[in-house]
Amino acid sequence: MNVREIPRRDMNEVLQDPWVDTGRRPWISGDIAYVPVRDGYPYTMALKERRRKGRGYQKIGSVIAFHGEKPDWDVVSEVIDRHKPEAVIWYRGHRGEMRIPEITVLYGEVSDTMHKESGIIYHLNPAVVMFSQGNREEKRRIAGLVKPGERICDMFAGIGYFSLPMAKAGGHVHAIEINPDAVYFLQKNILANNLGSRVMVSPGDCRDHITGIYDRIHMGYYDAAKFLATALQHAGPGTMIHVHGIGDNTGEIKEQLDMAGVLAVMNQRIIKKIGPGKVHTVTDLVIK
């Protein structure tokens, strides 16, 4: 069953949308709703029927990725029979500031693959750089906020997860990324999506390359709040900053704002569940 992973509080707002498969019931787990998707519409992940107790997996190009506990071989075997992937991996997490994936290959051989999402092409190697389909709706939300001509900084660009949707929406994006492997795929993805005129890439530490004042600053990193002081130096009245994190980090964000003497309107939302008792959040700041 194909589903979209959305915040539970948003479920009632989407149930009348044309992509919803009304013949199946949504599945709720904590603050996350898994809404069935009709054939032909984009989806976040594929779930087996309920007898698998909701265990899902992600399709990343020609690779199937499992999260959470290591799947049993019968589950892996069923996925292989159904999708004929080049590889099946168990994603255990990521490490360090370069967000290097920690995976176990359960089947096949992982190599470069091409994944298409919301009309955007992403080239990547899931064993080398991370990719989360659970952020799909958040990418769409951010792209929907972008106004044509905005000057945007993506401080942790990765392979272009948010840089590409923001550029496609009409923004001029300064994409900064410290991981050389991610930079390689970022540049490849810019070309693949014909966005060379809208994305400028700076390889290295965002604190060394961010410059000027931006209309929007995107901080797609779980420890983003630790870099907020840098972002605030490049924000003016009306600048919107998107600060990602784990759980409620609004206290740390407010502390950074107070230290910088900056006032902002703050709104936090849950993007997805990332583990037992843990959620991925984003806090939108509008600088006064």
Give the global pTM: 0.79
Q: Return the structure tokens found at 94.
A: 């990521």
Distances (CA, A) of 176 to 96, 128, 158: 17, 18, 8
Segments making up each domain of the chain, as ranges: 2-133, 134-287
Distances (CA, A) of 151 to 71, 167, 231, 285: 44, 10, 14, 16
**pLDDT by residue for the chain (288 residues), tens digit each?**
888 888 888 877 887 788 888 767 787 777 788 888 888 888 888 876 544 443 578 889 999 999 888 999 989 998 898 889 999 999 888 787 778 889 999 999 999 999 998 889 999 999 999 887 778 889 999 999 999 999 999 999 999 999 999 999 999 999 999 999 999 999 999 999 999 999 999 999 999 999 999 999 999 999 999 999 999 999 999 999 999 999 999 999 999 999 999 999 999 999 988 878 889 999 999 999
Q: State the Cα–Cα distance between residues 20 and 15, nearest whole angstrom.
A: 6
Question: Which residues, at least 6 apart from 119, have a Cβ–Cβ distance to it below 8 Å?
Answer: 168
Q: How many CA atoms lie within 13 A of 276 on its CB side?
A: 2
Q: Return the structure tokens found at 247.
A: 């759980």
Q: Is 272 left (phi over 0), alpha (psi -120 to 50) or beta?
A: beta
Q: How far is CA 223 from the centre of its chain?
A: 14
Element (H, E) at 7: strand 2-7
Q: Which 3 state secondary structure label does DSSP give 263?
A: coil
Q: Which CATH superfamily is domain 134-287 in?
A: Vaccinia Virus protein VP39 (3.40.50.150)
- Largest pairwise CA distance in the chain: 58
Instruction: Answer for the pair 20, 37: CB distance below 8 angstroms, yes or no.
Output: yes
* Residue in 143, 137, 135, 110 with CA at minimum distance from that of residue 124: 110
